[in-house]
Amino acid sequence: MAKKGASISGFPEWLPQERVVEQRVIDTLRRVFELHGFLGIETRAVETGASLLKKGETSKEIYLLSRLQEFGQDDAPVESHLGLHFDLTVPLSRYVVENSGGLVFPFKRWQIQKVWRGERPQEGRYREFTQADIDIVGDGTLPEHYEVDAPLVMVEALEELRTLGLPAAVIHANSRKLSEGFYRGIGITDVDPVLREIDKLDKITADQVSRLLQQDAGCTAGQAEACLRLAQVTASTADGLRGSCASLCEEYGIEHGSDPYALMQQGVDTLAMIIDRASKIRPGAVVADLRIARGLDYYTGSVYETFLDGAEHLGSICSGGRYDNLASQGNRTYPGVGLSIGVSRLVSYLLHTVSASPSRISPACVLVAVWDEDSRMVSDRIAAALRSRGISCDVSPNSAKIGKQIKYADRLGIPYVWFPAEPGDADPVPGHDQIKNIITGEQEDADVSSWAPAPDYARQDITAGN
């Protein structure tokens, strides 16, 4: 028997009114994704350890499964176990390879599912949570313009959520090629550890990152200082980005025509294109921010992090990037670009910071009253007729006094109570059904074949306080 308070840290459960907010977020995201032609899929929750480790150093985050394994494998390496997926990108890469013959490329997919991650629970961060992803995957090649299209879809989706009280969102973008070219230009040969340490700038100070770069990434003090200088560069225009990068190349002696300079310039060109195109479609929605690193091994090009105005303490609520080598099949590769929204983190923010709440708990906008149990079938027929016309309704759970039935509707936020014309002795107006708006107190005759709720009462609205 479940006991009150027996919750498990990091595994949230929403009350019905909180679930309404979560569902509105999910419905909004799906609507925007499909508006842009993305196709919905769902992948299995379980992947092989070897597949999950494609993401990089994440073995401590994987929830391994033992019940589905052969007996005696508990001490086997992570690669040989099965585990719950902790994101939706790695499962997508497997899905694309296995189903490539039945997909149309470029394959644009949306996916909203639970994921599991073994990290320390804290505000807005859970061990079980819902993610919403979009990805665009090519067959062999993927045009650069998708590196603008994908983040702009996410900006549009987040903009739609502002009706729930969400602040404005800004995507901060960088390019792995830009960062890698610069690092190699100042003499760093092992780039991945540097990216992982730079990725911690949102969580710890620059001095702490500098120490980690020297202790764990093999940088000299001068190289660590140069990496942090690059991370300080921000720009809202293509010209501003080019100018800042050119100055750093000159300052640190990265020669024109060298391989590092050419790699860095590829990144600068792509990032400048992203900023320029995005500014023409949604001004201010995407900015260049060279501290964005995304410490994950599979990103090869643009990388993105998204922050809410005035809620920077929440961290990034939407992230992603370009990957060219995550999915392959022989000589065939499937480059992609995508972003992921932490739905559970957004919902937590809306509930606890913005105080978003539904206008009613129940999706029903009508409660059909029941005069007595012998006439319940009359109420059931009325409810069925209303539902056949797309009007959500419920039937009173009992034939208590009308005042108690109205109170029941009020507790669920149901705005209308329907009074059947039968039985005649109890009917307020013999021969006619009546409908009562318990919010305004208005009551009138109603015909089940033609009555419709007022638009303001037909749906569950979400309100936001402060």
User: Percent of the chain at pLDDT above 70?
Assistant: 91
Top-confidence residue, 63 or 136: 136
How far is 276 from 281, CA to CA, in rounded Å?
9
Q: pTM value?
A: 0.89
Structure tokens given for 279: 């500014």
The predicted pLDDT at position 427 comes to: 42
The pLDDT of 305-334, averaged and rounded, is: 91
* For residue 443, pLDDT beyond 90: yes
How far is 411 from 404, CA to CA, in rounded Å?
11
List the chain domain ranges: 16-45+101-357, 46-84, 366-463
What is the tens place of the pLDDT at every residue in 253-312? 999 989 999 999 999 999 999 999 999 999 999 999 999 998 777 899 999 999 999 888
Give 70's pLDDT tier (boundaries 50, 70, 90): low
User: CA 291 from chain center: how many Å?
Assistant: 22
User: Percent of the chain at pLDDT above 90?
Assistant: 76
What is the tens place of the pLDDT at every residue in 231-264? 999 999 999 999 999 999 999 999 998 999 999 9
* For residue 6, pLDDT beyond 80: no
Query: Cβ(82)–Cβ(47) under 8 Å?
Result: yes
Is 416 annotated as a binding-site member?
Answer: no
What is the tens place of the pLDDT at every residue in 368-390? 999 999 999 999 999 999 999 99
* For residue 204, pLDDT beyond 90: yes
Collapsed DSSP state (helix, strand, coil) of residue 347 = helix
The pLDDT of 322-337, averaged and rounded, is: 92
How far is 183 from 190, CA to CA, in rounded Å?
9
DSSP 401: -
Domain 16-45+101-357 has CATH 3.30.930.10: yes
Give 81's pLDDT tier (boundaries 50, 70, 90): confident
Is 87 annotated as a binding-site member?
Answer: yes
The predicted pLDDT at position 71 comes to: 45
The predicted pLDDT at position 74 comes to: 57
Q: For residues 189-198, b (16+ Cβ closer than 10 Å) or e, as one string? A: eebebbbbbb
Is 88 annotated as a binding-site member?
Answer: yes
Torsion angle defined by CA atoms of residues 207, 209, 213 and 214, in that order, rounded to the nearest 10 degrees: 30
Is 82 annotated as a binding-site member?
Answer: no
Is 339 annotated as a binding-site member?
Answer: no
Number of Cβ atoms within 10 Å of the Cβ of 101: 5
Query: Cβ(386)–Cβ(366) under 8 Å?
Result: yes
The predicted pLDDT at position 278 comes to: 96
Give φ, ψ of 429 to 5 degrees: -130, 100
* For residue 12, pLDDT beyond 80: yes
Determine the topology of domain 366-463 in CATH: Rossmann fold (3.40.50)
* For residue 29, pLDDT beyond 50: yes
Top-confidence residue, 459 or 99: 99
SS (H, E, C) 188-221: CCCHHHHHHHHHHHHCCCHHHHHHHHHHCCCCCH
Query: Cβ(87)–Cβ(131) under 8 Å?
Result: yes
Structure tokens given for 413: 């936020």
Cβ contacts of 408 within 8 Å, gap of 6 or more: 367, 396, 397
How far is 387 from 366, CA to CA, in rounded Å?
10
The Cα angle at residue 411 between residues 408 and 413, in degrees rounded to 5: 110
Is 135 annotated as a binding-site member?
Answer: yes
Give 429's pLDDT tier (boundaries 50, 70, 90): very low
Query: Cβ(133)–Cβ(38) under 8 Å?
Result: no
The predicted pLDDT at position 7 comes to: 77
Element (H, E) at 112: strand 107-116
* For residue 4, pLDDT beyond 70: no
The Cα angle at residue 220 between residues 219 and 226, in degrees rounded to 5: 85
* For residue 422, pLDDT beyond 80: no
Give φ, ψ of 237 to 5 degrees: -130, 155
- Across all residues in the chain, what is the average pLDDT? 91
Q: Give the chain's end-to-end CA distance (angstroms, integer).
A: 38
What is the tens place of the pLDDT at every residue in 162-200? 999 999 999 999 999 999 999 999 999 999 999 999 999
Is 294 annotated as a binding-site member?
Answer: yes
Give 1's pLDDT tier (boundaries 50, 70, 90): very low
Give 428's pLDDT tier (boundaries 50, 70, 90): very low
How far is 287 from 173, CA to CA, in rounded Å?
6
Is 299 annotated as a binding-site member?
Answer: yes
Is 241 annotated as a binding-site member?
Answer: no
What is the tens place of the pLDDT at every residue in 30-60? 999 999 999 999 999 998 888 887 655 455 6
